[in-house]
Structure 1
Amino acid sequence: MTVTLPPAISGINIPDTALTRAITEYIRDIETELLFNHSSRVYFFAALAGQNRGLSFNAELLYAATMFHDIGLMPSHSSPNLRFEVDGANAALAFLQSYHIDPSDIEKVWTGIALHTTPGIPQFMHPIIALTTAGVEMDVLGLSYKDYPDNIREAVVAAFPRTPAFKEDIIQSFYDGIKHKPETTFGNVKADVLADKDPHFHRGNFCSIIRCSHWAG
């Protein structure tokens, strides 16, 4: 299959390597168009954030982390009892191992994916980890929306379009990917998705777990 790379955006492009081409084909074959385009935008927003912050990062590794970050939402890569973030991280690990990537680099990608829904921590870690979350937060939450000029945002969306109702579409996609294992959302933001979509969902309560433990006092 021929992979057509988009033009550079403000000096940022997808590295034209065997690894990135293989990642593109793999993710495009498995994910929905919604998630593939979302993940591609996340890469550009992440790399642009790195450029703006003056960070040094390996673009191939960042591409791997951003493109695999939501694959755990797909039935083919969803485990019965692990957080979808861990499913995605494990999928990236297996893929990168098949390309004999350095284990320390794979660990950065794994951690970036595993922590991408855990705010307040990734920004203090390695650029691959920090930027993966930054890209996700920009495309889904718009947290740094005003940090990107209009023409840059428009160029990224032109290359990888958002659906007309992307906000609701991505929430539905999250729900579809985690509704079969609600217990895995304890303590993370995806519990909000289940609460929004399922009127019968009861989120876990940290204090209740403490009080109901086997300890006497």
Structure 2
Amino acid sequence: MTASLPALPDTAACRLAAEVVAEFSSPALVHHCVRSYLWAADHADRHGIAFDAELLFVAAMVHDLGLTPVFDSATLPFEDAGGAVGWVFAAGAGWPVERRRRVAEIVVAHMAPEVDVAADPEGHLLELATGLDISGRDPDAWPADLRAEVLTRYPRLGLIEEFVACFTDQARRKPDSLAGRFTAAGFADRARANPLDA
């Protein structure tokens, strides 16, 4: 039986966010961003978590742009740089200031160890989804048929080695960042053991 994937939101901002990530990211990172939205939306649907689909999708699309050469900051952690890109993107999309702030907050929150669903449902969902997609955290929280369908439609394309290289570079240049601390705590081994790559 084929899993029923969540629909990707189809608004002008969502289409532009997908275009931006495709322009500045590798195919592996593009698929990671789409999978992150799908994991998040599915989790929300199954757990009754109300969320803003457009806001979550845009945040999911831009959340790792701070790792790309064009947007990588020499001093800021990549999630802060990505949050700034999200703010600027949202401004260009004509969103009001509060909604721009929300995109930035969600992008920054995705690196937190835990995000309170009541305070920030979109940040909570993106944090869970990226934890699954990168570190393989709690894969059985998603149905096996859904996991198989998402991975068939959006294959991983060597994501983990690319991501480990990005984090290693971030850690070397910004050792006090979360990427630096994650790398020092064995991030590469956890990511390489991700059951989604089995």
1:90 aligns with 2:84: yes
Report matched runs for 1:110-125 at 5 Å: 110-125=104-119
Equivalent residues of 1:30, 1:74 under 8 A apart: yes
**Counterpart contact for 2:44–2:125, Cα < 8 Å:** yes
| Residues 53-111 of structure 1: CA deviation (Å, up to 9, x unaligned) | 20111111001111111100011101211111000000010011111113222222211
Give the alignment of 1:48-59 within 5 angstroms.
48-59=42-53
Q: TM-score, normalised on structure 2?
A: 0.84
Say whether the 8 Å CA contact 1:70–1:85 is kept in structure 2: yes
SS at match of 2:70: helix
Uncovered stretches (5+) of structure 2, i.e. residues with no partner: 188-198
Task: State the partner residue of 2:167.
Answer: 174
| Bigger relative contact order, structure 1 or 2 (CA pairs below 8 A, ≥6 apart) | 2
Alpha carbons of 1:174 and 1:34: their partners in 2 closer, same or farther (altered >3 Å)?
farther
> Hey, what's the Cα distance between the residues in 2 that align with 1:83 and 1:190?
9
Q: Which residue of structure 2 aligns with residue 193 of structure 1?
A: 183
SS of 1:130's equivalent? helix
Q: Distance in 1 between matches of 2:22 and 2:67?
A: 14
**How much has 1:193 moved relative to structure 2?**
2.1
1:19 matched to 2:9? The reply is no
Structure 1: where are the runs of 5+ without partners?
Answer: 1-8, 198-217
1:65 aligns with 2:75: no
Residue 143 of structure 1 is aligned with which of 134, 137, 140?
137
Q: Does 1:38 pair with 2:32?
A: yes
Structure number with larger C-alpha Rg: 1
Contact 2:44 2:50 in 1 (8 A): yes
Percent identity of the aligned residues? 26
* 2:37–2:126 CA contact under 8 A, matched in 1: yes
Asked if the contact 1:42/1:139 (under 8 Å) is kept, the reply is yes
* Aligned match for 1:133, one of 123, 127, 134: 127
Tell me the C-alpha RMSD between the 2 structures.
2.2
Q: Paired residue for 2:96, among 98, 102, 106? A: 102
SS at 1:76's partner residue?
Answer: coil
The AA in structure 1 aligned to 2:181 is: A
Give me the TM-score of the superposition, normalised by structure 1: 0.77
